[in-house]
């Protein structure tokens, strides 16, 4: 089965076991880089919400398997102080107006349709949550104590977060 073409990139079907793809690596894309262009193409073509530009702090990256193939775009951004908090447990829980700079939002979770690897969805949130702290600190000079995400319960169940041992805090 053929993969998909997005812009100049062609993506072949990736099937197999998670252990055959490891180690997975995440590379943060510099503005204007090929990785950021690929990131935007993946989000625009594969995500039901499409791509919207965000303002403020953000990290965009591509997670790749041991063969260098793109298996997931990774997008974290700053939080909206007015929004509801649905925080994944990584540390002290920030509250409205206090310590929000120590919170980041998993803006989009996407595994493209041509990547068909059991357990990859549940493996990625835990792996990324451990990595994002260092990347955020290096880029913005501030720590990340907690992650937030929003799950559209009408479309998905968010089981990959539970399977990753990340828990909802209310």
Q: What is the residue-level pLDDT of the chain in tens, covering all 170 positions?
A: 455 555 556 678 899 999 999 999 988 888 888 888 888 788 777 666 655 666 678 888 888 999 988 888 888 888 766 655 454 444 455 555 566 677 787 777 778 888 999 988 888 877 788 888 899 999 999 888 877 776 666 766 666 666 666 665 55
Task: Give the residue ranges of DSSP H helices in the chain.
Answer: 18-21, 34-46, 120-140, 159-163
pLDDT at residue 138, rounded to an integer: 92
* Domain count across the chain: 1
pLDDT of amino acid 129: 80
* CA separation for the pair 1, 14 (Å, rounded): 10
CATH of the domain at 151: 3.40.630
Distances (CA, A) of 6 to 3, 52, 68, 74, 112: 10, 17, 17, 17, 11
How confident is the model at residue 81, as a pLDDT?
A: 63
Task: Print the domain residue range for 57.
Answer: 4-169
- Record the pTM: 0.74
């Amino acid at each position: 089965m053929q993969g998909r073409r997005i812009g100049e990139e062609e993506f072949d079907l990736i099937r197999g076991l998670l252990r055959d793809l490891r180690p997975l690596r995440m590379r943060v894309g510099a503005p204007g880089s090929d990785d950021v262009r690929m990131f935007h193409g993946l989000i625009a073509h594969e995500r039901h919400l499409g791509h919207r530009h965000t303002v403020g702090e953000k990290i965009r990256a591509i997670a790749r398997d041991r063969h260098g193939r793109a298996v997931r775009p990774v997008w974290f951004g700053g939080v909206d102080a007015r929004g509801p908090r649905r925080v994944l447990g990584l540390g002290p829980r920030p509250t409205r107006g206090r310590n929000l700079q120590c919170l980041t939002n998993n803006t989009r979770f996407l595994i493209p349709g041509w990547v068909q690897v059991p357990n990859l969805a549940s493996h990625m949130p835990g792996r990324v949550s451990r990595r994002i702290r260092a990347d955020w600190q290096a880029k913005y000079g501030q720590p990340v104590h907690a992650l937030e995400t929003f799950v559209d319960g009408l479309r998905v169940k968010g089981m990959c977060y539970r399977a990753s041992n990340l828990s909802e805090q209310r």
